[in-house]
Structure 1
Amino acid sequence: MKSRIFGTECEYALFHSQGEGKSKSRWEDELLLEHLKGITQYLMSALKVVGYPLAGEFLGNGGRFYIDRGAHPEYATPECASVSDVVAHEKAGDRIVWELAELAGFLLAQAGKTGKLHVFKNNVDAFGTTYGCHENYLVAPRAMESISFIVPFLVTRQIFTGAGRVMKGGTTQTGPFQLSQRADFIDRVFSDRTSQVRGIINLRKREIPRQGQNRRLHILVGDSNMSEYALGLRAGTTSLVLRLLEEDAFHDMPVLESSVEAMKDISRRFDCPVKLENRQGRYNALDIQTIYLEKVHRFFGQHEPGLGEEEILQLWSNTLTGLRKVKISSENWTLEDDPEDLKRRIDWILKLWLINRVQQNKRFDWQDYRLQHLDARYHDLDPVSGIFQRCQELNLTDRMVNDNEIRKAKVVPPDDTRAWTRGMTIQSASGKNVDVIVQNWETIDIVARPKGRSSNHPFDRHRRMVNRLEIKMEDPLVVDHASILEKVRDFVEMWD
């Protein structure tokens, strides 16, 4: 499948610093949850104040903002057809959530609840609670039938997609630092749920309705990346591997003896050898990634690459070459050499480099709690207090998209998927005498409001059922903007 749809769902963590003397070392679970639920209501209020065109939880850029279980705000990107688009729209989600937090903080202050509201884009808090950044890919049914072939790829890609994690207490049995924030929380390869039990791949039967042709692959194992390049590599390399899976081009691939244990071992030691069922010898994550890379190289020696695939393939190759040159002390997790300067592109390497500098300058060891604080601040979306944000401002990171593209993605949906129809429908009907009801990602109802009188007339329910326009977008790859939007405009004008 040359044409693929990408999307991500990212959960964020909230922290409300309430000023000196008001913070608690740990709230009771129920009290903490109720407090966070109260904070999230201010976020939803901010969403209405800030002026984004809305239809329930859906935004005018085609994405979705809502409060997930556990009182975590969550942003789902619109359907994207390119790696650059999915990167721009995920980063746009970061900025939207940060803007809402800023305004929510102001609303909290007006309500007498002083303090600073922080938003973190990470995957685990100080109490060991985890939250996810899930990925969605449109795939052919053939790929789903043999999806286990890509599990070793997903297990080992953390060497360039890991966000990095400082472990509580420093030198524990798991080591003071890990590549991945999610690895320790994955307990099986496949699962039909996204909480309590967590699989590498989620197999809930939520297919993309396209006459049974394509399906939605839902991946749970990824970290929440701050680096644009890590985001692009994550989506792009996974898409390349899926294309080969759809073309039945994977044969004699490595099979991990225990995928869950391998994921944890690699996270705890960058060059850790893992056991394979079908091969002799010692293989580490880099070796397994190289096997997949070589398969993809051979495939494109005989097949024409699709949009952006050649660029991602080269980036993948360069990244693995650079990782082979990275040297890390296994005794104390010191980054000794990074000749290809991968810290500009890979989150865990940048975070480790920053921590090592602090350790050197401040004489902190791994047991120092301030390193955990630094870890959290790396993921703070505040442009002033967020460490990654400051690194980007100081040109210490490479960019895959620019600020103009991110600003555009905040308000404009991708124009090459059904997200355009959804987003522009919401924008066209915003402020008009109609209600836009987005039933799900595939269906929108536009319902006329009663004119000139109270809405409790006994026949209003019947009239609202009749006086409505239903928009079906069952195929995410079919773009029929003009005809649908013309119907929307005609309907809105008739009732406005």
Structure 2
Amino acid sequence: MLAMIEDRALHTDLALERPVPALQAISHDPSLRTTVALRDGRRLTGVQAQWAYLEQAAAWVDDRFGADADADTVEVLQRWESVLTRLERDPMECAREARLGRQAALLNGFRDREGLPWDAPRLGLIDLQYSDVRPEKGLYHRLLARDRIERVVTDAQAADAVEQPPEDTRAYFRGRCLAKYGQDVAAASWDSVIFDLPGRDSLQRVPMLEPLRGGRDSVGDLIDASDTAADLMAALAAR
């Protein structure tokens, strides 16, 4: 979607008349039948709006890449279509993949067993416990242990991503700088790394405005050859 926005490839106006109330209305309806008003006067459900976005995305990928679309992009489009198809039919069919169905199944099961109304505080606690990141506390982790959640990455892949940034975006430069020169990094954000170098009166900022610049191919050799952050800054200036 971000690439399509940059390419001005969104040709169907799906702007909501009142975005915040619309989001609340959709998120509060587990049946997914609530409709919200668009600025052009139409009314759509959340799923219908998603279909409209998906159709534009699929057409754009086909036009831009055709048979050369990368595997990740193809998988995203396939999963997107599969989830929307099942959400329309029955949201509970997506309990293994979508949080909506998973939490609804949890809450419905507990409510039926305990005979609780929907406004029971205990149901609110279950909602909070689901998001508890502690493996021994969070309900997500219990469901995962029971093979009731479909994962798209393994534990090993997740652990590797903590230490190894992607090699084809600016995240590579940022991640390598933090790993190698962390003691000299004053701040790091999406679009810059700021160094506090010994002997310098002011902070040194390296802008990273282009998401696809700063990958291994362009800066990997500089970082490998620079023992200190000061060496890296000198190498960048020379280049």
Q: TM-score, normalised by structure 2?
A: 0.79
Within the candidate set 208, 214, 220, 1:481 is matched to 220
Tell me if structure 2 keeps the 8 A contact 1:254–1:279.
no
Cα distance in 1 between the residues matched to 2:71 and 2:131? 31
What does 1:344-493 align with in structure 2 at a 5 Å threshold? 344-429=96-181, 435-441=183-189, 442-445=192-195, 447-448=197-198, 464-465=199-200, 472-474=206-208, 475-478=210-213, 479=215, 480-489=219-228
CA deviation map 1:103-135 (0-9, x unaligned): xxxxxxxxxxxxxxxxxxxxxxxxxxxxxxxxx
Cα distance in 2 between the residues matched to 1:420 and 1:326? 41
CA deviation map 1:302-328 (0-9, x unaligned): 22035622211111111110101116x
Tell me if structure 2 keeps the 8 A contact 1:418–1:473.
no
1:344 partner SS: coil
1:283 partner SS: strand
Cα distance in 2 between the residues matched to 1:369 and 1:490? 53
2:23 counterpart of 1:260? no
Aligned to 1:271: 33
Tell me if structure 1 keeps the 8 A contact 2:170–2:211.
yes
CA separation of 1:436/1:307 partners in 2, compared to 1, >3 Å: closer, same or farther? farther
What does 1:327-342 align with in structure 2 at a 5 Å threshold? 338=92, 341-342=93-94
Tell me if structure 1 keeps the 8 A contact 2:195–2:229.
no
Task: Report the residue type matching 2:197 in the other structure.
Answer: V
Question: How far does residue 491 in structure 1 lie from its aligned partner after superposition?
Answer: 5.9
Task: Report the residue type matching 2:75 in the other structure.
Answer: E
Structure 1 alignment gaps of length 5 or more: 1-240, 328-337, 449-463
Question: How far does residue 359 in structure 1 lie from its aligned partner after superposition?
Answer: 1.4
Cα distance in 1 between the residues matched to 2:229 and 2:53? 51
Cα distance in 2 between the residues matched to 1:323 and 1:481? 44
Aligned to 1:248: 8
CA separation of 1:465/1:268 partners in 2, compared to 1, >3 Å: closer, same or farther? closer
Aligned-pair Cα RMSD in Å: 2.7
CA deviation map 1:428-475 (0-9, x unaligned): 346xxxx41334432343634xxxxxxxxxxxxxxx228x99573534
Task: Report the residue type matching 2:185 in the other structure.
Answer: I
Tell me if structure 2 keeps the 8 A contact 1:424–1:485.
no
Aligned to 2:90: 326
CA separation of 1:429/1:243 partners in 2, compared to 1, >3 Å: closer, same or farther? closer
Question: How far does residue 402 in structure 1 lie from its aligned partner after superposition?
Answer: 0.6
What does 1:2-17 align with in structure 2 at a 5 Å threshold? none
Cα distance in 1 between the residues matched to 2:94 and 2:33? 16
Aligned to 1:16: none
Aligned to 1:115: none
Tell me if structure 2 keeps the 8 A contact 1:422–1:444.
no
CA separation of 1:272/1:411 partners in 2, compared to 1, >3 Å: closer, same or farther? same
CA separation of 1:481/1:368 partners in 2, compared to 1, >3 Å: closer, same or farther? same
CA separation of 1:486/1:444 partners in 2, compared to 1, >3 Å: closer, same or farther? farther
Task: Report the residue type matching 2:28 in the other structure.
Answer: R
Cα distance in 2 between the residues matched to 1:482 and 1:256? 47
What does 1:211-222 align with in structure 2 at a 5 Å threshold? none
Cα distance in 1 between the residues matched to 2:85 and 2:193? 45
Question: How far does residue 286 in structure 1 lie from its aligned partner after superposition?
Answer: 1.5
Question: How far does residue 346 in structure 1 lie from its aligned partner after superposition?
Answer: 1.0
Cα distance in 2 between the residues matched to 1:268 and 1:445? 45
Tell me if structure 1 keeps the 8 A contact 2:176–2:223.
no
1:481 partner SS: helix
Aligned to 1:285: 46
CA separation of 1:469/1:256 partners in 2, compared to 1, >3 Å: closer, same or farther? closer
Cα distance in 2 between the residues matched to 1:259 and 1:401? 33
Aligned to 2:234: none
Q: TM-score, normalised by structure 1?
A: 0.40
Cα distance in 2 between the residues matched to 1:296 and 1:406? 28
Tell me if structure 2 keeps the 8 A contact 1:319–1:342.
yes
Runs of 4+ with deviation above 4 angstroms = 468-471, 489-492
Cα distance in 1 between the residues matched to 2:105 and 2:98? 11
**Count of equivalent residues:** 219
Cα distance in 1 between the residues matched to 2:120 and 2:61? 49
Return the structure number with greater relative CO, CA threshold 8 A, min gap 6.
1
The structure with more strand, counted as a fraction of residues: 1
Tell me if structure 1 keeps the 8 A contact 2:164–2:175.
yes
Cα distance in 2 between the residues matched to 1:316 and 1:325? 14
Cα distance in 2 between the residues matched to 1:371 and 1:249? 43
Cα distance in 2 between the residues matched to 1:428 and 1:356? 49
